[in-house]
Amino acid sequence: MTAPSGIDPRGPRFAAWITSALLLVATVLGLVAVPSARAASFGWFAYQPLSDATFSPGGSPWTLVATRASQPAFLLALLIALLFVWGVVSPRTQPWSVLFRTLVRPRLAPPSELEDPRPPRFAQGVGLLVVALGLLLHLLGVAWALPIATALAFVAAFLNAAFGLCLGCQLYLLLQRAGILGRAAGSSAAG
């Protein structure tokens, strides 16, 4: 029974530091951009319909969507989502992975053990889902959606970076044990 080729567990933690910094900035930018007076009057999930007063007379609904899409928090969160996509599709070529392999890992001792690359890849997908949901709801006018989504993703990335606790990896393992995801690496060879 051979183990799948593994990855250095310090690589995803390195990437999580950079990702958590970007997510923190996106969260702060999102909090600054939320129109606090309107959001306070409707609670946490203030909905700003396309007929909002910020709409110019004679303009189209796309004007408000374009305004929301051009906000710095949205643009940074979109970049983060694209990096998550890259991490899911091609983790070896993802920028943080390349940076770790070329600049950081040569300066470190070899890892004591390698880890299965599937849970961190799944975690990238979970991060993508959370941030993409925030982006979509933001475009639809849910005022607090983007800062809440980036804050949730920040907490997960920070826990991974600072403490090695990968929430997405834990979710992967839980789903694997429940039989929802593929079998464990060694169990298919045993049968």
Q: Is residue 110 part of a domain?
A: no
**Helix (H), strand (E) at residue 73:** helix 72-89
- How many domains does the chain fold into? 1
Asked if 45 contacts 134 with a C-beta cutoff of 8 angstroms, the reply is no
The pTM is what?
0.81
Q: 77-123, pLDDT tens digit by residue?
A: 999 999 999 999 999 999 999 999 999 999 999 999 999 999 999 99
DSSP characters for 120-170?
A: HHHHHHHHHHHHHHHHHHHHHTBTTHHHHHHHHHHHHHHHHHHH---HHHH
Average pLDDT of every residue of the chain: 84
User: Which residues on adjacent β-strands are paired with residue 142?
Assistant: 47
Q: CB 167: neighbour CB atoms within 10 A? A: 16
Q: 11-67, pLDDT tens digit by residue?
A: 999 999 999 999 999 999 999 887 643 444 444 445 555 444 444 545 566 788 888
Measured distance CA(20)–CA(97) in Å, rounded:
15
Q: Is residue 169 part of a domain?
A: yes
Q: Is residue 18 part of a domain?
A: yes
What would the 3-class secondary structure string for 162-187 be? HHCCCHHHHHHHHHHHCCCCCCCCCH
Q: Is residue 5 part of a domain?
A: no
Q: Is residue 42 part of a domain?
A: yes
Q: Is residue 124 part of a domain?
A: yes
Q: Is residue 1 part of a domain?
A: no
Q: Which domain holds residue 166?
A: 10-105+115-190
Tell me if residue 45 falls in helix, strand or coil.
coil
pLDDT greater than 60 at residue 150? yes
Q: Is residue 4 part of a domain?
A: no
> What pLDDT, on a 0 to 100 scale, did the predictor assign at position 191?
37
> What pLDDT, on a 0 to 100 scale, did the predictor assign at position 48?
53
More confident call, 175 vs 37: 175
More confident call, 1 vs 167: 167
